[in-house]
Structure 1
Amino acid sequence: MRLRTVLATVLLTAVPLSGQPAAAATPVTIAYAQRTQTWELVLTNGDVVKVPEALAVAPRDAVNAGARTAFLVSGDGRHFFYFRKSDGRFAERTLHGKERVIRSIEAYTTGEEWPSVSDDGSFVVTGTSAPGLGVLVDVRKGKTLPQPGGTDEWSFSGFSPDSKRLLMQGVLGGRVTVFDRGLRTRLRSKTRLSPVALANDYVTAAAPVGSWPKSRKLRLVNLRTGKASGTITVRLPRGQYVDDLDFDKAGRLIVRSKTKTGVAIYRVSKTTGKATLLRTITRPDVKVWVLPGDDEYEPWTEKQ
């Protein structure tokens, strides 16, 4: 065991922790974020990086003053997003990169709009309490895109694992649509289900079945034909439920489930529902923590 220090940029303050050195070929990424006195990044090599410039709660002039503000980590563990204390604007960073400000998203609307980010951290979508969408931003291009079809009456369901497609459902009529990053329609399907995950084939989607949050069932949907599979019961341990549903880049079905000590991640058979444990993550002793790929709220984010 030895101490190490993250080589951080000026806006990040590194705090060394003891831990085993990471393998040379394995890049250091963000394991999760946690909030103590300020937001912190816990890295995969055990180091902790403070983010003192990130707001923890909405400012006094916000619609919901004092409400918890979003702090997100992209699914690849390389990008993090936060509202700045200086002006309430939403910003994106990497561990050693420059801050990029997304001016169309601000802390003033905390609790009325909530952001979601793609796995590679390059695209942001905000949902609203309207219902409907707020803004859609291509972070790499620094461009805010117009609403698809000239209307905000969409419900955002998720990104494909490769971040090249967006899955949305019309608020009126319920039609499920797959868009590319330019928000051009690539596939449209009519289904009574509400898919929340899209595979990298851009055709297969997964929809939870039953009453959230205590459900272990799902169905797969072919968005080209609109046909759905039979109900698949995920064989999780007693007391665990499907809290988060997704596909990995190879098209395998992935479920995250809250446990008594943290979160468990499973690969699920699309035919039998057998759940194979991939890994567990122990919850740190903090009030709030955020895993890579989380939306603004997940069942495990706040300490009960």
Structure 2
Amino acid sequence: MRLRTVLATLLLTAVPLGGQPAAAATPVTIAYAQRTQTWELVLTNGEVVKVPEALAVAPHDAVNPGARAAFLVSGDGRHFFYFRKSDGRFTERTLHGKERAIRDITVDTVGEEWPSSVSYDGGFVVTGTSAPGLGVLVDLRKGRSLPPPGGTDTWNFAGFSPDGERLLLQEYGDGRMTVFDRGLRARLRSKTRLWATALANDYVTAAEPVGPWPASRKLRLVDLRTGKASGTVTVRLPRGQRIDDLDFDKAGHLVVRSKTTTGVAVYRVSKTTGAVTPLRTMVRPDVKVWVLPGDDEYEPWAEKK
């Protein structure tokens, strides 16, 4: 998953959703979302945009009333997703764009089926379920919803490639990994049963944390075409930190996000030595819930303890 830089010392000023952000040398994107009395977007220029139309929890007539309603931000920081109050439909929006409702995902079934992941470009949404398997997979570029491959509930979602063109799924039973395109056509079926959680833009290289979650500090690379894995590499994270999230960036580098005592730290990791290069740190805001670009529906740092 990918993040945008945000400085903890920025002055935050509330602005309406339709307001134009101040001019900047680089495009203003979403640094993170937070939930106070309502959902808000904190932008990379420090401004705060309120999203009063977004539900915080499922309504009283939902399957699980009071359950947290998902709010997601795409990894590029340009798209945000929420259940809207007017009709409970899951909705995609950009900072200055119109709402686009996703017809097949509603707040009524939160807790049984819910949007769990969105691609880096904001163009593909995957829903998880309380039962084994996936719900629907929605390609927003083409405006269509797709059932899980083969129409079965035997798949677990592992991740998107950074360009959003491929999905990595693992099949229950034989445990094999399969790479699908956005039309859910199988492009590569792995010969390994290793549990990879990140797919590179070559659509062949995957990465797998090694060791029991949530204590993992090791990883290995997997060639999905041959089924061969590299040797285990210990990630040289600071004491007390672990691999909470593992991904590739568009350049093919390994990136690890790790919960810290104050928030989240992001590192680039050497594939051979495990040496880490700090990329950025984010201090957790004093709110109950926050969401970073690229977060899944729940992350270890999401809830305030």
- 1:162 and 1:262 map into 2 onto residues whose CA distance is 27
Give CA deviations for 1:93-137 in whole Å, capped at 9, x if unaligned: 000111110111111221222321000000001121210110011
- Check conservation: 2:15, 2:50, Cα contact below 8 A: no
> Aligned ranges for residues 56-135 of structure 1 at < 5 Å?
56-115=56-115, 116-135=117-136
- 1:147 and 1:206 map into 2 onto residues whose CA distance is 23
Per-residue deviation, 1:214 = 1.4
- Check conservation: 1:159, 1:197, Cα contact below 8 A: yes
- Matched to 1:131, the amino acid is P
Root-mean-square deviation over aligned CA pairs:
1.9
- Matched to 2:230, the amino acid is S
**Structure 1 SS opposite 2:297:** coil
Partner residue, 2:300: 299
Partner residue, 1:191: 192
- Matched to 2:232, the amino acid is T
Give CA deviations for 1:15-59 in whole Å, capped at 9, x if unaligned: 99xxxx6633x0000000000000000000000000001010111
Per-residue deviation, 1:3 = 8.7
Per-residue deviation, 1:63 = 2.2
Partner residue, 1:51: 51
In structure 2, relative to structure 1, the CA distance for the partners of 1:136 and 1:142 (3 Å cut) is same
- Check conservation: 1:58, 1:65, Cα contact below 8 A: yes
- 2:270 and 2:299 map into 1 onto residues whose CA distance is 23
Segment of structure 1 superposing worse, 30-39 or 211-220: 211-220
Partner residue, 2:203: 202
TM-score normalised per structure 1: 0.93
2:236 pairs with 1:235: yes
- Check conservation: 1:5, 1:15, Cα contact below 8 A: no
- 2:37 and 2:120 map into 1 onto residues whose CA distance is 28
Q: Which runs of 4+ in 1 moved over 3 A?
A: 1-8
**Structure 1 SS opposite 2:93:** strand
- Check conservation: 2:54, 2:84, Cα contact below 8 A: yes
- 1:270 and 1:66 map into 2 onto residues whose CA distance is 43
What percentage of aligned pairs have identical amino acids?
A: 80
- 1:88 and 1:45 map into 2 onto residues whose CA distance is 31
- Matched to 1:190, the amino acid is K
- Matched to 1:23, the amino acid is A
- Check conservation: 1:158, 1:197, Cα contact below 8 A: yes
Partner residue, 1:157: 158
- Check conservation: 1:15, 1:47, Cα contact below 8 A: no
Give CA deviations for 1:191-222 in whole Å, capped at 9, x if unaligned: 22111100001000011111111111111100
Q: Where does the alignment leave 5 or more consecutive residues of structure 1 unmatched?
A: none
Count of residue pairs the alignment pairs up: 295
Per-residue deviation, 1:172 = 2.0
**Structure 1 SS opposite 2:108:** helix
Partner residue, 2:226: 225
Q: Where does the alignment leave 5 or more consecutive residues of structure 2 unmatched?
A: 1-9
TM-score normalised per structure 2: 0.92
- Check conservation: 2:91, 2:100, Cα contact below 8 A: yes
Higher relative contact order (CA 8 A, sep 6+): 2
- 1:233 and 1:111 map into 2 onto residues whose CA distance is 36
Partner residue, 1:287: 288
**Structure 2 SS opposite 1:201:** coil
- 1:3 and 1:291 map into 2 onto residues whose CA distance is 17
Partner residue, 1:262: 263
- Matched to 2:256, the amino acid is V
